[in-house]
Amino acid sequence: MNALLKDLAVPADSIHRERRARIAAAMASQGGGIAVLPTAPERQRNSDNDFPYRYDSHFHHLTGFAEPQSWLVLTSEGHSTLFCRAKDPEREIWDGFRLGPQAAPAVLGVDQAFPVEELDSRLPQLLADRQSLWFPFGVHADLLLRVEGWLAALRRRSREGLQVPSSQRDLNPLLDEMRLIKDEGELATMRRAAQISAGAHARAMRFCAARFRAGAASVLEYEIEAELLHEFRRHGAQSPAYQSIVAAGANACVLHYAAGDAPLRAGELCLIDAGCEFDGYASDVTRTFPADGRFTSAQRELYEIVLAAQKAAVAATRPGARQRDAHHAAVRVLAQGMLDCGLLDRQKAGDLDVVIEKAAYRQFYMHGTGHWIGRDVHDVGEYLSLDEAAVEDADGLGGKVVKKPSRILQPGMAVTLEPGLYVRPAEGVPERFWNIGIRIEDDAIVTPGGCELISRGVPVEPDEIEALMRG
């Protein structure tokens, strides 16, 4: 194998082969068939300039192959076919190395490979006489049209005795379920991603502290974003896992605020929600810290509430608990805190149970407390129980809904725990809290005994944040 090939391709280790065998077996246990799985398309940014390419997570999970224009075809007996870009010396001068179909079986462990240009001519024959055709529903915009085309081509050949698959099945649940429980290799990669991100947050805190110590009147959000990016890339992370949020002062009350050019001033809080993607796995970390290294009393009062809510969420994250338990635990602490500090008026809002039942806390806490995390920052995986019946539950808005209970946690699942408080100016809301936005977010792996917080390489305790910024 030449050096280029060795560097760029994923080794033909057994992990992707083993994952393909597990998906084949899952299809076989549900009647068998053949699966077709494309990677992600290249996306135009403007003119002849594309967004940075990112492969499809399901596709990469089964192949380890990062090139665009690739397709995996897998039978329930475990036979695999890859379609990929043909070698092209001219294009490789411009765009870089291509593995090519000839080398693909040895490098990727697939049984056979063809140029992607042959996809439409070969697919009808591959699908013939298979009862079910499996593909991911609702992900790839043009896939249904392609499928229709292959089936139509096969139908036109029916007098040759070729049978058209009679059912179409969603491949997503099989892959979602597999990806929900991470193996040791995946967990090691996620720990590394979280560690890099934590280091980037610590760097941002130190950067701000140093700038204010040196007499700066303000630090711009994009300057802080640049520090994060620098730290991600210098440790080998390929990119941010999502658009970095760096929010100065009141901007922290905009949940999906993107780092802009607003000045962060002494006395304000800075909320950073940023995580890197490392070797295909996301991290998702939020810290909120005082720009100049000292929390004001109002900031600290609210910060302590959010931190207590996160501790409650952590305690509720263990095998046997439900994924949603962390949210309920955090909401109880946040709602109690809102009553205690006067964000909510006890006379008007009622006691804790009423605040929760009527969802009055949503004025200051309007998002969930966590989500699956893995290859995607909001990772795949069913949130509701797979094998329990629907029951009546509160809808979080003062009413009732009938739905399945949330999923019971088990070791190897990975979640975020991310409570917050966001105080927009409003009548009846104490002015000293106006425009304070706080979120604390860590990534957690469910372990046999509870959970492991993998992003704690940057502190969350307010005294420890102040100490780090002083140092």
Name the site residues for Mn ion (rule: CB under 5 A): 273, 284, 416, 418, 441
**Strand 80-84 vs strand 112-115: parallel, antiparallel, or unpaired?**
parallel
- At 201 the three-state DSSP class reads helix
Q: Is 58 a catalytic residue?
A: no
Q: Is 367 a catalytic residue?
A: yes
Kindly state whether residue 365 participates in binding ligand GLY, applying the rule CB under 6 A: no
Q: Which among 56, 418, 442, 466 is annotated as catalytic?
A: 418
Phi/psi of residue 384, nearest 5 degrees: -100, 155
Q: Which among 284, 301, 325, 442 is annotated as catalytic?
A: 284
The item of Mn ion, ligand GLY, none sharing an interface with residue 128, based on CB under 5 to 8 Å by kind, is: none
The item of ligand GLY, Mn ion, none sharing an interface with residue 227, based on CB under 5 to 8 Å by kind, is: none
Task: Choose, by CB under 6 A, the member of 186, 225, 268, 273 that binds ligand GLY.
Answer: 273
The item of Mn ion, ligand GLY, none sharing an interface with residue 407, based on CB under 5 to 8 Å by kind, is: none
One-letter identity of residue 39? T
> Mutual orientation of helices 184-213 and 462-470 as an angle, nearest 10°?
60
The item of ligand GLY, Mn ion, none sharing an interface with residue 466, based on CB under 5 to 8 Å by kind, is: none
Task: Choose, by CB under 6 A, the member of 268, 325, 418, 442 that binds ligand GLY.
Answer: 418
Kindly state whether residue 242 participates in binding ligand GLY, applying the rule CB under 6 A: yes
Q: Which among 48, 184, 387, 431 is annotated as catalytic?
A: 48
C-alpha distances (whole Å) from 248 to each of 164, 202, 205, 302, 323 are: 59, 17, 13, 17, 31
Q: Give 97-104 contacts, CB < 8 A, sequence gap 24+.
A: 97/4, 97/5, 97/8, 98/67, 99/5, 99/8, 99/9, 99/65, 99/67, 103/1, 103/5, 103/9, 104/65
> In this complex, which beta carbon is closest to ligand GLY, that of residue 134 or of residue 278?
278
Cβ 188 to ligand GLY shortest distance, Å: 22
Q: Is 61 a catalytic residue?
A: no
Q: In 10 A of CB 467, how many CB atoms?
A: 12
Cβ 377 to ligand GLY shortest distance, Å: 6
Which single residue is written with the structure tokens 């096969």?
A: 154
Q: Which among 225, 273, 292, 376 is annotated as catalytic?
A: 273
Q: Is 48 a catalytic residue?
A: yes
CA distance 457 to 272: 15
> In this complex, which beta carbon is closest to Mn ion, that of residue 231 or of residue 273?
273
CA distance 245 to 260: 9
Of all helices (H) and strands (E), which one includes residue 442?
Answer: strand 442-447
Q: Is 37 in contact with 71 (CB distance < 8 Å)?
A: yes
Q: Which among 371, 376, 407, 442 is annotated as catalytic?
A: 371
Residue 24 in tokens: 């084949």
The item of Mn ion, ligand GLY, none sharing an interface with residue 242, based on CB under 5 to 8 Å by kind, is: ligand GLY
Cβ 7 to ligand GLY shortest distance, Å: 32
Q: Is 441 a catalytic residue?
A: yes
Q: Is 378 a catalytic residue?
A: yes
Q: Which among 257, 281, 365, 422 is annotated as catalytic?
A: 422
Phi/psi of residue 249, nearest 5 degrees: 55, -125
> In this complex, which beta carbon is closest to Mn ion, that of residue 164 or of residue 224?
224
B/e letters for 166-182, b = 16+ CB within 10 Å, e = fewer, are eeebebbbbbbbbbbeb
Cβ 256 to ligand GLY shortest distance, Å: 8
Of all helices (H) and strands (E), which one includes residue 121?
Answer: helix 119-127
> In this complex, which beta carbon is closest to Mn ion, that of residue 37 or of residue 415?
415
Q: Is 371 a catalytic residue?
A: yes
Q: Is 256 a catalytic residue?
A: yes
Q: Is 79 a catalytic residue?
A: no
> Mutual orientation of helices 297-315 and 325-341 as an angle, nearest 10°?
150
Site for ligand GLY in 94-133 (CB under 6 A): none
Q: Is 418 a catalytic residue?
A: yes
Binding interface with ligand GLY (CB under 6 A): 242, 273, 284, 371, 377, 418, 441
Residue numbers annotated as active site: 48, 256, 273, 284, 367, 371, 378, 418, 422, 439, 441
